[in-house]
A = this chain, B = another copy of it.
Amino acid sequence: MPLDALGTAYGPCLSVDLQALAHNWQIVRAACPDSSVGAVLKNDAYGLGVALVAPRLWRLGCRDFWVSSLDEGLALQACLPVDAVDARQQGLRVWVLNGLGGGQAQDFAPHGLLPALTGAHELAALCRQPLPGDRRLPVAVHLDTGLTRVGFDSAGWAQLGADSALWRAAQPRLWLTHLGRFHDPEAPQCQQQRQRFVQWTARLPAAARSIATSSSVFAGQKWHFEHVRVGSALWGVPTSERIQVPLRPVARLHAPVLRVADVAAGTEVGYAGGYIAPRDCRIATVAMGYGDGLPFSLANRGTMVLAGRSAPIVGGVAMGMVALDVSDYAPGQVQPGMWAEVYGTQQPLTQLAAAAEVPPNVLLTLSARLAPQRRAVDGAS
């Protein structure tokens, strides 16, 4: 991608590489040929923008989508390249991870959204306010096999037999659980969760089953069951050090240089003297800060890439600016208006995330702030 394609340098710009997304989709698809693959698009597609990625995923054949909430589900449907009726006829299923979220069956059914029920209280709520007639709301049901977050735990599961009156208003289409050590499916805790999931679902009404996410989908067929749910892998974000898969990074973030200045040794750079120039040096100010999602913990840590090489971050991270030490560049080589790569093809997201001591998805997701500055690239190599 030529940097001049980024245009005028008003602020940070997130580029979303749809070819890389297609590549990653095929990698995932090939890893679990006998399962349906759901794209996890919660949090506005991890900050990449549902409106950018959902149409491409649809064209790639994706028909199952996972979002956090009802409003995210409606937003997703609105940006698919087919209308709602056609989409459902073609197999669209939008699963809502937060369950009913205080809503009722009537909020979901007309839109074809399927809540992933978070506990017995939601099944009871559906019974209190069922759909008109004898219709039952199609739902997923979350089973809490060990993460202790949402879903039916062992006590809740015990009430869920096939003949339970709780099924009066809901029809289970999918059982799901989520691994506490999702990045390490071979951990004994994960094996135990899997075993529990198999045992529990064997005594429940027949429906599809789903455990695997972005790491476990590559950990062998035993994890696949009928459905897998993949977010990070689609964006090329590795979630496991043990599993090496040739994914390509989908997101690239750039920010413009605002000013370049020569400063004398001893000069304070940034708030509260967060950095003091140890020698005469040259400082480039970049228009990106914590308000754009750059972790505050990058003060005097990590780098950005300018003109093909890394420049260290010096001083603190302000709301909209951060400083780079560019003393090692040739005089005049760094100019205002140049684009610094925050992460992307030259500096992996994982590298900056490690410097910030956060998981890669924290860094990725916070770019949701950049909604007006997102753009799709297609055909970048």
Contact = CB atoms under 8 A, between A and B. Distances in A.
Nearest to A320: B68
A359 B103 CA distance: 35
Contact of A273 (B70, B180, B292): B180
Interface string A310-330: 000001001111010000000
Nearest to A283: B148
How big is the A interface, by class?
35 or more
B181 A271 contact: yes
A103 B10 contact: yes
A240 interface: no
A47 B268 CA distance: 29
Contacts of A46: 291, 319
B319 A181 contact: no
A42 B287 CA distance: 12
Given A43-B291, A181-B271, A296-B359, 17 more contacts: A9-B101, A11-B68, A42-B320, A43-B319, A98-B258, A118-B259, A148-B263, A148-B283, A148-B315, A150-B285, A150-B321, A180-B271, A181-B273, A290-B362, A290-B365, A319-B361, A369-B369
7 contacts: A68-B287, A121-B336, A149-B269, A180-B270, A180-B272, A182-B271, A369-B369
Interface of A: 8-11, 42-43, 46-47, 68-71, 97-99, 101-103, 107, 118-119, 121-122, 144, 146-151, 153, 155, 180-183, 189, 256, 258-259, 261-263, 267-273, 283, 285, 287, 290-293, 296-297, 315, 318-321, 323, 335-337, 358-359, 361-362, 365-366, 368-369, 371-372
